[in-house]
Structure 1
Amino acid sequence: MEKIFKALGERTRLEILLLISLNPNICLCHIEECFHLSNSNLSRHLKELESSELVMTFKLSKWKHYQLSPLGKQIVELIKAIDNENLYQQVSKLNLLLNKELPC
């Protein structure tokens, strides 16, 4: 449980988790497009979410994709229920800006 709270304790990871919830099977390149982070920072955040078992990864050809785990889905529902900062709405707006035509 400590890993889950650690993963959710950082706003960027929380936003990434919510973005993945809006885009089942989202490709790494789409996440990179939304979060202007260095590759190492983004990789660290995604590894933290994966090690806390909130997201799962798989490869399609050469691209890495992310999806919520069953636990991740439950956590997102809880976040949406208690979201008094409207974080979910903010990430939803960010999601609209995604370029769906990336090479993956």
Structure 2
Amino acid sequence: MDLKDLTKIFKALSDETRLKILKILEKGETCVCEMVALLNINQPGVSFHISVLKEAGLIKSRKEGNRIFYSLDESDLFKRFLILSVLEKLKIAEEENLNKYMEISKKNLKVEEIFDD
């Protein structure tokens, strides 16, 4: 793996939509039509992001009939570790955001209770 390969990998990981696709694929093999529905993005948009991830070697494809199914490419341990690390950081960030939201909601309820009296 050279610097050019690393640049492709980090470029692929630098987009929110591509990170969402990786989260979807972490749960299992998926076709573009399912990703379109899950991401609420048109098919050409999803296909573009898929091509970036595939070129970076982060995902692989399998054809079945007229459908192509995508999954995480787990053949390279470095890339797999990198994907797992990024997805874990996303999960932690989402949990922190949820906790912040819950705290704000609790504070707003307390303020409303004061003004309701």
Query: What range describes the TM-score normalised by the shorter chain of this pair?
Result: 0.7 to 0.9
1:4 corresponds in structure 2 to 9
Higher relative contact order (CA 8 A, sep 6+): 1
Gaps of 5+ in 1: 88-104
User: Would you identify which runs of 4 or more consecutive aligned residues in structure 1 move more than 6 Å?
Assistant: none
2 CA distance for matches of 1:55 and 1:49? 6
Q: 2:27 aligns with which of 22, 31, 36?
A: 22
Larger Rg: 2
1:75 corresponds in structure 2 to 82
Q: CA RMSD in A?
A: 2.0
| Number of aligned residue pairs | 87
Cα-to-partner distance string for 1:40-63 (whole Å, 9 max, x where unaligned): 211110000000000001111111
TM-score norm. by structure 1 comes to 0.73
Please state which structure has a larger fraction of its residues in helix.
2
2 CA distance for matches of 1:42 and 1:27? 10
Percent of pairs identical after alignment? Answer: 23
TM-score norm. by structure 2 comes to 0.66
1:58 corresponds in structure 2 to 62
